[in-house]
């Protein structure tokens, strides 16, 4: 097997690094997944932003939703104030407390 000169490898690496820098940033999981974490209509942008303010990640949102579903008033208030409507709140609570089948 023929060895390539080191300067060729460096040039390839530099070229790959430059091409990665010009790629657009990946779409965030929050904007992609969070709007659909409801059993009702998808959450709008304002609701997604508000939810991320009260729950820093998906795990925190699950715990907050399950706490609210179990009757924890603090969880209910935090999530309800972020979502802004009873219908949106119920949709999120139903989503995280429902059972799903994967076929």
Residues 100 and 103: their CA atoms lie apart, in Å, by 10
Is residue 58 domain-resident? yes
C-beta of residue 57 within 8 angstroms of C-beta of residue 2: no
What is the predicted pLDDT for the residue at 81? Answer: 95
Is residue 102 domain-resident? no
What is the tally of structural domains in the chain? 1
Q: What's this model's pTM, rounded to 2 decimal places?
A: 0.66
Q: What's the average model confidence in pLDDT over 6-32?
A: 56
Residue 17 has pLDDT above 80, yes or no: no
Q: Which domain holds residue 62?
A: 27-97
Is residue 19 domain-resident? no
The Cα angle at residue 17 between residues 16 and 18, in degrees rounded to 5: 90
Kindly indicate the confidence band of residue 79, based on its pLDDT and cuts at 50, 70 and 90.
Answer: very high
20 versus 79: the higher-pLDDT residue is: 79
Is residue 10 domain-resident? no
Residues 44 and 24: their CA atoms lie apart, in Å, by 23
Residues 72 and 53: their CA atoms lie apart, in Å, by 19
81 versus 11: the higher-pLDDT residue is: 81
Q: What percent of the chain has pLDDT over 90?
A: 53
């Amino acid at each position: 097997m023929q060895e390539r000169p080191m300067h060729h490898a460096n040039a390839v690496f530099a070229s790959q690094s430059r091409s990665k820098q010009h790629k657009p940033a990946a779409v965030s999981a929050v904007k992609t997944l969070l709007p659909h974490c409801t059993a009702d209509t998808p959450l709008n942008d304002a609701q997604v932003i508000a939810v991320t303010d009260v729950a820093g990640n998906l795990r925190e949102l699950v715990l907050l939703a399950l706490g609210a579903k179990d009757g924890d008033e603090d969880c209910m208030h935090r999530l309800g104030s972020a979502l802004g409507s009873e219908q949106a709140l119920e949709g999120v609570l139903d989503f995280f407390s429902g059972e799903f089948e994967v076929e």
